[in-house]
Chains A and B, each alone.
Chain A
Amino acid sequence: MSLIPAAKEEGSAAGPLPPFHTIDIGHATHVALVEPDTAFWGLVRKDRLADPTAVAQLGDIYRVQADGFAREMDMLRFHLRPSAVYFNPTERCNLNCSYCYIPEDMRRNGEHMTAAAMLDALERLHTYFRGHMPEGRLPQVIFHGAEPLINRRVVFAGIEAFADRFRFGVQTNATLLDDEAVRFLTGHGVGIGLSLDGPEAEIADRTRRRWNGTGVYDHVVRAMERLDGYAGYNVICTMTTENLPHLTELVAFLHAHRVPACMLNVTRCTLPGARRINGGDEAMAGAYIAALERTHELYRETGRKLVVANFANILIAIMAPTARRLMCDISPCGGGRSFFALAPNGDLFPCSEFIGLPAFNGGNLFRNPIDDVLASPPFKLVSGRKVEDIAGCATCGIRHFCGSPCPAEAHEMNGGMNRKGAFCAFYEEQVRYALRLIADGRHEDFLWDGWDEDAETLYSIG
């Protein structure tokens, strides 16, 4: 990909054109022109690239919209306030997955949150969010882990007591998701995320196992069957060396089980264990794009989508930056500014990814005002990490479609916050593919129906 600025064009009578980056997206007929700071882009047919009038058409739109785009990106990047919490109700987990970012000792011997602490924590969080969130918009609490349902009685007590004050979600390994738990969670409209790394036990169990080495594939499949028809559930797959050749089979498996949405996530390389099964940028991009193409074929065959949410988010970041849902691929990332993570003892971290790194503890929910924690040096280290300060990202044409994730990975694996994360080339390929889909007019097939119903179209050409 050419990520360096193109030579400045002559421009129209309205003045010189901005310094567009010309990006080869690997498409037969079109290339992308991007003005990175405002995330402005257009696709131009290659045989018209030398025609000043064609490029000037984009320049004219840019001149009219640039100030508004700059304000929009500034708001999105620097002025959001938290609206979500990753809430860890226990440090313990009944699994020992290869890539977990929580240290082993913590998962084996860690502490549970008590019921009283849970209710106290939710009350404090409610008070905090109500101070800045508009009426009618509920903050989000995602019970995360470790395995949150190990402390199920306490989690359910919190959901019951605060059902009308938060939107709740649970990310679970499904081993404890029995009929009663499914009834409770679906009855309360709680979002449920399951984890599954392969379409069959032999593959899925390579990375997701109990402490004694046995896999949990069967549990996840039973949970998927229990949740069939529930719109608020999804499945998260972590891409590793162990499952890359099977990603297309996995998305077909999920589609056949009528899963509404999934994520195909990279292996975050914060801890060394995950680095050993990192599939590598090139292999991962190939398998990932093949899996996305398979979801498209299945949609064309059946009329039913399996949305790959992390990819949908990249498409949305390109077409409507303020409509994005996930906050990893933006700079600064959402850690410590649009969400934060809570440990069972009340300690606060910018993101779950940092929970095993004591240096990133910014304070404690039961002892410190949350605004003070957000302003603490550990949080500022994360929320202040921006692409302009990262070598290689500062001049990259797609820096605001990628965001250079992840700070935990950059810090622990690559030596500092001013370094890239682990998957630069993978993100480039992902953006090129997204732009190719737009060039082909296929992009809507990869998005939720109605994803833009609350959005205003500023312009639409082609």
Chain B
Amino acid sequence: MKQTALDKPQPAQPRPEIIAVRKTCDAEGTGLSHYILMDKRVKR
């Protein structure tokens, strides 16, 4: 199987004692349920 940089074994790092993250933005991407619409209009 083809090897990539992602394949390199990563040393096991102890995880931090506390992990927390929160981001915020305008809620403009919301809207759908049954369907995925990409963020940007796409062309071939």
Query: Which residues of A pack against B, CB within 8 Å?
Result: 29-30, 40-45, 48, 54, 57-58, 61, 65, 69, 72, 75-76, 80, 82-84, 86, 137, 140, 142, 144, 167, 169, 171, 186-187, 189, 191, 193, 229-232, 234, 236, 261, 263, 265, 299-303, 309, 319-328, 333-335, 338-339, 351-352, 438-441, 452, 454-462
- Tell me the dominant secondary structure on chain B's binding face: loop
* Beta-carbon nearest neighbor of B33 in chain A: A328
- CB < 8 Å neighbour of A302 from B2, B42, B43: B2
- CB < 8 Å neighbour of A48 from B1, B17, B27, B41: B17
Query: Are A301 and B44 neighbours in the complex by a CB distance under 8 Å?
Result: no
Residues 1-44 of B at the A interface (beta carbon under 8 Å) = 1-2, 4-7, 13, 15-38, 41-44
Least Cβ–Cβ distance between A94 and chain B, in angstroms = 19
**A43 contact set on B, CB distance < 8 A:** 18-20
Bound together, the chains give a CA A54 to CA B20 distance in angstroms of 12
**B5 contact set on A, CB distance < 8 A:** 303
Bound together, the chains give a CA A231 to CA B40 distance in angstroms of 10
Query: Are B41 and A338 neighbours in the complex by a CB distance under 8 Å?
Result: no
Least Cβ–Cβ distance between A146 and chain B, in angstroms = 13
**A302 contact set on B, CB distance < 8 A:** 2, 4
Query: Are A230 and B30 neighbours in the complex by a CB distance under 8 Å?
Result: no
Query: Are B6 and A144 neighbours in the complex by a CB distance under 8 Å?
Result: no
- Tell me the dominant secondary structure on chain A's binding face: mixed
**A167 contact set on B, CB distance < 8 A:** 37, 41
Least Cβ–Cβ distance between B19 and chain A, in angstroms = 3
**A339 contact set on B, CB distance < 8 A:** 31-33
Query: Are A142 and B37 neighbours in the complex by a CB distance under 8 Å?
Result: yes
